[in-house]
Amino acid sequence: MGNIDNRFMKYRRLKMYRRIFCFLLGFSSVIAFALFYVYEWNRMPEVIYVEANKEQVLDFGVPARGELYLESVEVGNYGEPIIESISHSSAGSQALKIDFSKEIVLSGASDEVYCADLKLFGILPYKTVRIETLDTYEVIPSGQTIGIYVKMDGIYVIDIGDFQSSQGHTVIPCEGKLQSGDYIIAVNGEKLSRKKDFTEIIQTSNGEDLHLTIVREEKELQVTVTPEMALDGQYKIGAWIRDSLQGVGTMTFVDTKGEYAALGHAVRDADTNELVSISNGALYETSIVSISRGEEGEPGEITGLIQYDKDKKIGNIEGNTISGIYGDVTKTEWLEGNIEQPMEIALKQEIELGEAYIISAITGECEKYEVEIIDINYNNTEKKRALTIEVTDEKLLELTGGIVQGMSGSPIIQNGKIIGAVTHVLVNEPEKGYGIFIENMLEH
């Protein structure tokens, strides 16, 4: 009887072990597939540009299939199809089966936009990919250091804070009315643009209500704040404010029309890290004063002397976006400092891992420095981290330790084409940094 019980217990344990094994096997398979799915998701871009009127081979090697169709069609005005085998009818376009696990040859005409609804292995929902044409474009890579001055679109609220009133109380008059990130654009119905003017209005208010028009998260609001007298005899509302920003960066390129792009990332407020809404701005000539080398955990920095004289103005700032600042160069003789001739842009699918170079004027003159492209991220969610580069140039490593603040916007060149711009440094590895695709800088 005892032997039977022992065999039964062994059987039950064996059965339990098998269940545990099957569970762990199933669980690990799910985790492995999830990781595989995320990996494949990141390998396929959400937007693919192809050069207009030129056959181009795409080879992403992603096991995804689906149908390609024209996104929007105006009846009677179709233009040339982006894929030559797609035909059009009066109702729109016929979908074309497409397999991104194989090479795809595309031929595009200007201003056509197609979409591909893809499924992993042709079964699992994956993502929708837009395919757009981009006209052949040549730009002059720059790399010159620029002084940046932007005027905010209103009075920017950095933060709120308390102070001691003349009665000895701790007060914050604007509490619940203003918050970090607000733009004050009018007081009592009068337009406002200068911090100095707003401060004077507060100090001469005699404690009477101020009716403020503010913009918060792109919505216009009305709030009323009552200033209080502080211990120093000045009326205050308890808000830290500013109306402008300045800094040093790098111009990425200028096109044949004199339009430029710089930085590769947005101008953000240093205290709130919010993208700054600007009313206007300008670029100025800048002299490099010093370079702080980058160390592990301590990003380096270029210190420049911005020359705000009228004759030192380089151009205007017309836009501030997540992909950089944009505008026109007004001082054409300044462009003589560029060391490259006009060159074509490279679309992301043309970029390769391996050797490249950047252009920077950290020594005062534009020079080329060797780098290595060590990773390409096609996922469109983080444009400013699309490329990962590593500085291999001994001269630049000796001078700066790698990538330093102020080099943002330095153009990246590979195979005779401009592929992107430096955007950020890896704080713990200053010899490495991130970059943005040049096509994303051209979107604006």
Considering the candidates 142, 205, 323, 393, report the single residue annotated as catalytic. 393
First CA to last CA distance, the chain: 84
Q: Is 88 noted as a catalytic residue in this protein? A: no
Strands 411-414 and 354-360: antiparallel
Following CA atoms 130, 135, 141, 147 in sequence, which dihedral angle do they give, to the nearest 10 degrees? -70
CA distance 402 to 417: 22
3-state secondary structure of 10: helix
Nearest residue to 295 (alpha-carbon basis) of 434, 181, 425, 188:
425
Distance between CA atoms of residues 54 and 69, nearest Å: 19
Contact at 8 Å (CB) between 377 and 386? yes
CA pair distance 398, 433, nearest whole angstrom: 16
Decide: 277 and 152 in contact? Cβ < 8 Å: yes
Q: Which of 265, 323, 360, 424 is catalytic?
A: 265
d(CA 426, CA 437): 18
Nearest to 83, CA basis, from 64, 96, 99: 96
- Catalytic entry in 93, 107, 323, 408: 408
Which residue intervals of 189-229 are DSSP H helices? Answer: 195-203
SS (H, E, C) 84-125: CCCCEECCEECCEEEECCCCEEEEECCCCEEEEEEEECCCEE
- Residue 271's identity, in one-letter code, is D
**271 annotated active-site:** no
Q: Which two tokens stand for residue 350?
A: 């043309």
For tokens 């005027």, the residue is 151
Tokens linked to 36:
């595989």
What are the angstrom distances between the C-alpha of 66 and each of 62, 99, 102? 12, 7, 13
Q: Measured between alpha carbons, how far is 185 from 279 in angstroms, rounded to an integer?
A: 11
Q: Is 5 a catalytic residue?
A: no
Cβ atoms 403, 432 nearer than 8 A: yes
Q: Which residues are catalytic?
A: 265, 393, 408
